[in-house]
């Protein structure tokens, strides 16, 4: 049981937390990063290669960690967050106390739990996997279906847990389309003879070079894009899967037999941290993410020492997360500078009196 004092505490040592941490500490502030997993890096640890340029996730994470000079406390489960006039006080599972005038929440997102879309067959049929599972297979360099064979026909299902009122997520997760295309290309590079089908509603490839990936998938890798949302998955006796959907461009009901289905799961807000934050309701949008998503959010992020960065404020790619983290780090610096100036002035005043 220790009490530790810092200038700023960052919850979450993923891309946003690490970026903000390196900037805030380079400005001479004492910071610490609290991470609930036993290794830093957040969701970067679950990736093999990153879109759109197929950079190695491990290399990127190594770079981020080497830029970071602050303490990273791993395996920290925060039990309580309270606030007093000096700032925030956090307590972890071992009763250690962390104190700081500023708190930056960079807790990221949670992948959608595909079990909730029962009709897609995740958790029921072994050959239905999620994009997270596939990424793990890439990392282990072992992509096989449940029979231990290399799949010959693979279907990627877009918008699983996104834009879906039935699971309560009406927002677009923005990164699954490009993830699917990246993974399709990666699969095709590993197994040139594989047939890949992407079942999409709208391909939302808004990021820079994302459209290039799409074109590459079409021209060089012959990935077939079918416009239609999956209705249901059924399994044959040989563990192949039959997908039923409508080919909406043909205007006809359709079926497709594949031996592996990859569900491109969306990004969801992580409610765990929200429950701990005092007086926080005003900071959560209707979609469950922090902040209000407005261009002018000065009303939310200044003045009270509580800051948010990364994908806990909405679905984001890594570059978007680190960009936001850099911006928020700047505001944290301003806040800490103002606070120290105020404190020195007031103590000075006291001495004079």
Residue pair 88/9 in contact by the 8 Å Cβ criterion = yes
- Give the CA count within 13 Å in the CB-facing half-sphere of 191: 19
* Residue (108 or 228) nearer to other proteins, CB: 228
Residue with tokens 């799961």: 265
Considering the complex, what minimum distance in angstroms separates the CB of residue 239 from other proteins? 22
Q: How far is CA 178 from CA 156, 263, 324, in A?
A: 11, 13, 20
Considering the complex, what minimum distance in angstroms separates the CB of residue 243 from other proteins? 8
* Residue (24 or 159) nearer to other proteins, CB: 159
With b for 16 or more beta-carbon neighbours within 10 A and e for fewer, the 126-165 pattern comes to: ebbbbbbbbbbbbeeeebebeeeeebebbbbbbbbbbbbe
* Residue (148 or 251) nearer to other proteins, CB: 251
* Residue (165 or 237) nearer to other proteins, CB: 165
- With CA atoms as reference, report the closest residue to 321 among 115, 165, 174: 174
Considering the complex, what minimum distance in angstroms separates the CB of residue 248 from other proteins? 4
How far, in Å, CA of 199 to CA of 179, rounded? 13
Considering the complex, what minimum distance in angstroms separates the CB of residue 230 from other proteins? 7
How far, in Å, CA of 250 to CA of 272, rounded? 44
Considering the complex, what minimum distance in angstroms separates the CB of residue 180 from other proteins? 16
Give φ, ψ of 31 to 5 degrees: -125, 165
How far, in Å, CA of 155 to CA of 326, rounded? 38
- Residues of this chain that bind other proteins (CB under 8 A): 119, 159, 163-166, 201-202, 227-232, 244-248, 251-254
Considering the complex, what minimum distance in angstroms separates the CB of residue 252 from other proteins? 6
* Residue (88 or 245) nearer to other proteins, CB: 245
* Residue (247 or 327) nearer to other proteins, CB: 247
* Residue (29 or 163) nearer to other proteins, CB: 163
Considering the complex, what minimum distance in angstroms separates the CB of residue 344 from other proteins? 56
């Amino acid at each position: 049981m220790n009490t530790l004092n810092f200038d700023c505490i960052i919850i979450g040592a993923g891309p946003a937390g690490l970026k903000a941490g390196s900037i805030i500490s380079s400005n001479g502030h004492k910071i610490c990063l609290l991470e609930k997993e036993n290794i830093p890096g957040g969701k970067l640890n679950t990736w093999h290669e990153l879109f759109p340029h197929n950079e190695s996730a491990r290399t990127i994470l190594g770079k981020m960690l080497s830029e970071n000079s602050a303490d990273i406390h791993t395996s920290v489960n925060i039990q309580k967050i309270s606030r007093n006039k000096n700032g925030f006080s956090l307590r972890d599972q071992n009763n250690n106390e962390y104190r700081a005038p500023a708190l930056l929440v960079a807790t990221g997102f949670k992948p959608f739990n595909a079990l909730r879309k029962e009709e897609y067959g995740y958790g029921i049929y072994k050959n239905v996997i999620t994009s997270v599972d596939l990424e793990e297979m890439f990392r282990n360099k072992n992509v096989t279906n449940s029979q231990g064979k290399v799949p010959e026909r693979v279907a990627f299902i877009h918008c699983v847990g996104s834009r879906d009122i039935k699971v309560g997520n009406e927002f677009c997760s923005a990164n699954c389309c490009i993830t699917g295309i990246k993974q399709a290309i990666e699969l095709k590079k590993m197994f040139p003879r594989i047939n890949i089908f992407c079942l999409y509603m709208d391909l939302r490839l808004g990021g820079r070079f994302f459209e290039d990936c799409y074109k590459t998938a079409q021209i060089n890798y012959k990935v077939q894009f079918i416009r239609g949302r999956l209705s249901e998955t059924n399994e044959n006796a040989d563990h192949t899967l039959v997908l039923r959907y409508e080919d909406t461009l043909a205007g006809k009901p359709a079926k497709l037999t594949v031996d592996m289905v990859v569900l491109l799961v969306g990004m969801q807000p992580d409610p765990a941290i929200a429950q701990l934050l005092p007086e926080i309701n005003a900071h959560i949008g209707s979609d469950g993410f922090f902040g209000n998503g407005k261009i002018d959010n000065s009303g939310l992020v200044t003045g009270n020492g509580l800051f948010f960065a990364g994908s806990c404020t909405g679905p984001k790619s890594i570059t978007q997360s680190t960009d936001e983290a850099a911006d928020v780090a700047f505001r944290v610096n301003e806040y800490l500078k103002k606070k120290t100036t105020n404190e020195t002035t007031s103590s000075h005043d006291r001495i004079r009196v």
